[in-house]
């Protein structure tokens, strides 16, 4: 048996729970390491009935995932949009969007271009600090929505770090790196584009100190769901988020936020929602 007993137990449990869906996953079209086909394969092995592809600022992986699924599992077209709300960065998940919708696609293209420019600037700053990964960034495929994880992996490949954690701690946490600005859509604009593409907008991994007034402000902009289930909140936090969602009249979403095969707590299917909760989201999308 590979891995610790806890890891093995987590993997067993993901298979033992029937009728579940993971609504937050990432592929190689953003900063995940799973190809769309590989992600679908893992989702099926985990016993899931549905999985949402929610790459950062791109829907490019959806078509390949659906082709790989071949009807064996429902693949929900999703996206995780980088947005700004009250001066802070937040992420908005879109579900059941039409990937070809031009207003949404245009905004995503702009965000992807900004991400690439940002990473190149970060690479230039890293070079000045003694870590030259600029050629690696320039060589990354144009269709990929880039993020700091790409830099971390390049630092590992170049021998500057042994792990993602080490790369972030040693190289990517300094003020000269993190201050490189990231383009963000205004929350109202992001929600409008998700809804305009036939989708349902959900606030991804909201903070522990979330206030009902903040939720209601976003609901007034068109938010229809709140991500209450994700890897790092405590059970008490999940319960509180569900209470906030109910108080605000929002649907519930959730998922693993999986980027890599490990850790087990963030593996595909490690955090899920019920098919009834998926049906609620689907019903909201059907009204578009």
Whether 10 has a pLDDT exceeding 90, the answer reads no
Predicted pLDDT at 246 = 98
Whether the pTM exceeds 0.85: the reply is yes
Phi, psi (rounded to 5 degrees) for 217: -65, -40
End-to-end CA distance of the chain: 48
Q: Could you tell me whether strands 74-85 and 185-186 are parallel, antiparallel, or unpaired per DSSP bridges?
A: parallel
What average pLDDT is seen over the chain?
94
Share of the chain above pLDDT 70, in %: 94
Predicted pLDDT at 163 = 95
HEC profile of 219-278: HHHCCCEEEEECCCCCHHHHHHHHHHHHHHCCEEEECCCECCCCCHHHCCCCCCEEHHHH
pLDDT tens-digit series, residues 258-276:
998 878 889 999 999 999 9
Would you tell me which CATH number, out of the four given (3.40.640.10, 3.20.20.140, 3.40.50.1980, 3.90.79.10), belongs to the domain 5-109+185-286?
3.20.20.140
**pLDDT band at 155; cut points 50, 70, 90:** very high
Tokens 């998926």, residue? 278
Predicted pLDDT at 1 = 44
pLDDT tens-digit series, residues 36-92:
999 999 999 999 999 999 999 999 999 999 999 999 999 999 999 999 999 999 999
Comparing 262 with 121, the larger pLDDT belongs to 121
pLDDT tens-digit series, residues 161-211:
999 999 999 999 888 887 898 899 999 999 999 999 999 999 999 998 899
Predicted pLDDT at 108 = 99
The whole-angstrom distance between residue 254's C-alpha and the CA centroid of its chain comes to 11
Whether 107 has a pLDDT exceeding 70, the answer reads yes
Determine which helix (DSSP H) or strand (DSSP E) holds 212, and give its type and residue range.
helix 212-221
Predicted pLDDT at 168 = 94
- Per-residue b/e over 108-139, b at no fewer than 16 CB within 10 Å? beebbebbbebbbebbebbeeeebebbebbee
Question: In the chain, what are the domain boundaries?
Answer: 5-109+185-286, 113-178
**pLDDT band at 16; cut points 50, 70, 90:** very low
Predicted pLDDT at 7 = 56
Predicted pLDDT at 110 = 98
Comparing 179 with 257, the larger pLDDT belongs to 257
- Mean pLDDT within 15-40: 91
């Amino acid at each position: 048996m590979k891995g610790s007993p806890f890891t093995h137990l987590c993997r067993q449990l993901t298979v033992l729970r029937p009728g579940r869906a993971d609504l937050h996953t990432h592929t190689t079209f953003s900063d995940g390491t799973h190809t769309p086909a590989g992600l679908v394969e893992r989702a099926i092995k985990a016993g899931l009935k549905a999985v949402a592809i929610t790459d950062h600022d791109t829907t490019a992986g959806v078509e390949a995932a659906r082709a790989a699924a071949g009807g064996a599992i429902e693949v929900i077209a999703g996206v995780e949009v980088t947005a700004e709300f009250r001066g802070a960065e937040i992420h908005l998940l879109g579900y059941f969007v039409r990937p070809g919708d031009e207003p949404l696609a245009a905004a995503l293209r702009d965000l992807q271009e900004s991400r690439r420019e940002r990473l190149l600037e970060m690479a230039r700053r890293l070079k000045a600090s003694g870590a030259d990964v600029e050629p690696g960034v320039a060589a990354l495929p144009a269709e990929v929505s880039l993020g700091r994880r790409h830099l971390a992996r390049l630092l590992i490949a170049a021998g500057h770090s042994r792990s993602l954690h080490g790369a972030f701690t040693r190289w990517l946490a300094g003020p000269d790196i993190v201050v490189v600005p990231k383009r963000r859509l205004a929350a109202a604009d992001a929600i409008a584009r998700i809804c305009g593409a036939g989708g349902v907008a959900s606030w991804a991994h909201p903070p522990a100190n979330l206030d009902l007034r903040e939720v209601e402000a976003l609901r007034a902009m068109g938010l229809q769901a709140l991500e209450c289930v994700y890897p790092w909140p405590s059970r008490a936090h999940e319960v509180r988020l569900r209470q906030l969602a109910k108080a605000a009249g929002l649907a519930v979403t959730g998922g693993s936020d999986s980027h890599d095969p490990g850790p087990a707590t963030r593996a595909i299917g490690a955090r899920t929602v019920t098919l009834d909760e998926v049906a609620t989201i689907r019903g909201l999308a059907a009204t578009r």
